[in-house]
Structure 1
């Protein structure tokens, strides 16, 4: 979620006369997991080696390009700089396409560019790897991570963010909210243009659709193609959630899970979210050290941090979804599994043929949605 997205969502909520803009009062959210969920035992600490840490301190800073806005990154930045004083983390948030285009332009002209990239654009990241832009670096934490987190050479998931359904509760009370994609399709047909999602060009939407179809195949396409004619389509999450909060939409689906951090307090008087029981794909948020890094040691220290239990707990505070064992987080993977059942969570990775699948998936989606 970029800064613009967050501003649009909060702006819409504020415009409704709520105090969510400044209130921290608690409020319910659909399927909000219990904080007592068993997260398992943390694995052994695997910090960077002394030589890497000394070199990172000498470099003094690193530059991160990411599609996560600064508000989401703020707890991560604060925790990292507190753990490693003297190493400054500079964060530039932009959309996924801009990340790769900017890096290409800057490195071609010898301009300072990103030391680390963090993105949810799976196809874009695979192309980035193919072009030789990712450093050959395997973090010590990787040995403690599940196999699905190892996305590509030099690329690992720092979070596995779900896509959710979100509802305007003034228009659709919780007892009327669809629980799965099939019932959502039936609801959409009766709601007459009041259900929406984002365009397939949005990497989160594509990741969600590809993940859902990877499990449900043609049966999944039946639900998506039933939703298509009855769904509105927005370019991004900001517009989608703004119109939901204002009542132009009653329900939305395949929404990036970082919105969960916004649907709290007084905002939850207007909006709630749920994990659809047959369609909760997790979209991996990939992180990698760049081949052209000017601060390669600091970059490795940062990646080590975000993959650690401590770093993942900091990421949770921003709304990201940690997945490794031993991380206490109400938004974490164990909590999602508790909410809908482990068998109903589609854990995302980078299938070998994902780039080849993309044109077919995009074309069929566009036909279904009349785009």
Structure 2
């Protein structure tokens, strides 16, 4: 039987309308019901968060979080290192012990493993469209802050014409004025610290083998290694050190701190290593709704402002004028991509570790 044109048109319209409705429903089902999540979070236990952040960092962040969610408590569990953060969660979740609802740490290889093993709870943050692509994945893995590695110097001890601008510039000035810099440059030790190794390895990949090792042939013998940024900064302030090389910006005094009258801080012009402090809601946790609220908050504009006020480096473009420092400052004024070196884990990182450390140790000597 032939369908008359009017009926045929009506059927086509109905099919299109139904298809659109199905697509709309499918899209809606992928979105989070944040009102329901907040209600459920209020009846869960405290959100356990594993991280290396200090109590001072958390105080600022949680004041802002609890102003919005007064009925959701967060219990920070501080770990001694990023590696320990992952290991603690891994061991506890494997044994069925109560463990983190949210993990916040630097370690792209560890995060890759968690993704592969299905340990991350997938969900979409409310403003996911506003987040830079490099700060998120489709699996629910987000970025708390960027960890930029900087050069610090004592402005009262180092003559202004010798203030370093980058790695190559520091090398040139060290060679020209060794009496100023010799044995007075602080850093973390890539021979023993996984975090520091990641930083130096990123520089090697950024500069290339030849240029990197040529720089280290001059720098490494003059480095003195500290286990904490606080120790390095204290000795910089007294003049025992004159430069701090590749120190985490997140652990430095904020711009309004009085010590900044003494300290000069610069993003190395020829390569600023950037590591991502990532975070995710973990399947081994017992407060998933509260975990989602926390991660969602920390990726929101108000959360990113709190991250900045807590001494970390936020990245959300819309908050750049509301925080003491911002990821965009790293690339501000840069004419080319040489300014930023983002750490990206590949199997080479582990494959080259032993030979890298042996070569670095040979240059640095016994310290």
Report the TM-score when normalising by structure 2: 0.79
> Given that residues 67 and 93 in structure 1 are in contact (C-alpha distance below 8 angstroms), is that contact kept between their aligned partners in structure 2?
yes
Q: Does 1:237 align with 2:223?
A: no
Secondary structure of residue in 1 paired with 2:208? helix
Q: Does 1:338 align with 2:332?
A: yes
- The CA deviation string for residues 140-175 of structure 1, in whole angstroms up to 9 with x for no partner, is 443332222136844222211211111122221443
Q: Does 1:370 align with 2:355?
A: no
Structure 1: which 5+ runs fail to align? 1-45
Alpha carbons of structure 1 residues 125 and 174: separation in structure 2 relative to 1, 3 Å: farther
Structure 2: which 5+ runs fail to align? 1-30
Of the three residues 140, 157, 168, the one matched with 2:143 is 157
- The CA deviation string for residues 65-104 of structure 1, in whole angstroms up to 9 with x for no partner, is 1111121222211111111120011112222232123223
Q: Does 1:52 align with 2:52?
A: no
- The CA deviation string for residues 28-85 of structure 1, in whole angstroms up to 9 with x for no partner, is xxxxxxxxxxxxxxxxxx9863332222122153011111112122221111111112
Q: Distance in 2 between the 1:153 and 1:354 partners?
A: 24
Q: Distance in 2 between the 1:157 and 1:363 partners?
A: 33
Matches within 5 A, 1:1-371: 49-94=34-79, 95-130=81-116, 132-150=118-136, 153-189=139-175, 190=178, 191-200=181-190, 201-218=192-209, 219-262=211-254, 264-327=256-319, 328=321, 329-338=323-332, 343-346=337-340, 348=342, 350-353=344-347, 355-356=349-350, 359=353, 361-370=356-365
Q: Distance in 2 between the 1:136 and 1:362 partners?
A: 37
Q: CA RMSD in A?
A: 2.7
Alpha carbons of structure 1 residues 182 and 231: separation in structure 2 relative to 1, 3 Å: same
Q: Distance in 1 between the 2:168 and 2:228 partners?
A: 24
Q: Distance in 2 between the 1:195 and 1:355 partners?
A: 26
Alpha carbons of structure 1 residues 152 and 276: separation in structure 2 relative to 1, 3 Å: farther
Secondary structure of residue in 2 paired with 1:261? coil
Secondary structure of residue in 2 paired with 1:298? helix
Shift, 1:226, TM fit = 2.8
Shift, 1:356, TM fit = 4.2
Count, aligned residues: 326
Q: Distance in 2 between the 1:141 and 1:207 partners?
A: 30
Shift, 1:122, TM fit = 3.3
Shift, 1:134, TM fit = 2.9
Secondary structure of residue in 1 paired with 2:203? helix
> Given that residues 198 and 240 in structure 1 are in contact (C-alpha distance below 8 angstroms), is that contact kept between their aligned partners in structure 2?
no
